[in-house]
């Protein structure tokens, strides 16, 4: 979902730059939200690979969470071909005894 002062996405499919921006506003300020869910059958990172199941750093299959949710909220400010984005990401625990995790990330984008 996107909401705010922005160029309609399907008006230019997010690809307008430079001379293709005639009639489009140079300023954009908007927020986005994304909710995702995953069903995990096998997690090679936590259970070991196909050939490495004896490592002391792997988890038993019963300890893994089979459903993981993730949410992301972002605020974007853009002028012309340059944009600045800050996002907050939250994810549910991936294995028994773990905690919810959240982090913030910043990005600078330039369209060519």
What mean pLDDT is predicted for residues 78-91? Answer: 93
73 versus 49: which is more confidently predicted? 73
Residue 61 pLDDT > 90: no
**What average pLDDT is seen over the chain?**
85
pLDDT interval class at 54 (50, 70, 90):
confident
Q: What integer pLDDT is reported at residue 51 of this predicted model?
A: 76
Q: What integer pLDDT is reported at residue 12 of this predicted model?
A: 59
What mean pLDDT is predicted for residues 67-95? Answer: 94
**Span 7-40, pLDDT tens digits:** 776 665 555 555 555 666 788 899 999 999 999 9
DSSP output for 32-84 = EEEEEEEE-S--HHHH--SS----TT---GGGB-SEEEEEEEEEEEEETTEEE
């Amino acid at each position: 979902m996107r909401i705010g002062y922005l160029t309609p996405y399907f008006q230019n499919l997010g690809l307008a730059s430079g001379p293709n921006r005639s009639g489009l506003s140079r300023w954009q300020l908007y927020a986005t939200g994304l909710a995702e869910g995953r069903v995990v059958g096998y997690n090679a990172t936590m259970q070991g690979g196909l050939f490495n199941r004896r490592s002391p750093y792997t988890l038993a299959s019963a300890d893994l969470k089979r459903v993981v949710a993730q949410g992301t909220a972002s605020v974007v400010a853009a002028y012309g071909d340059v944009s600045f984005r800050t996002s907050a990401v939250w994810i549910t625990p991936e294995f028994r005894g773990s905690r919810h995790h959240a982090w913030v990330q910043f990005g600078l984008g330039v369209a060519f």
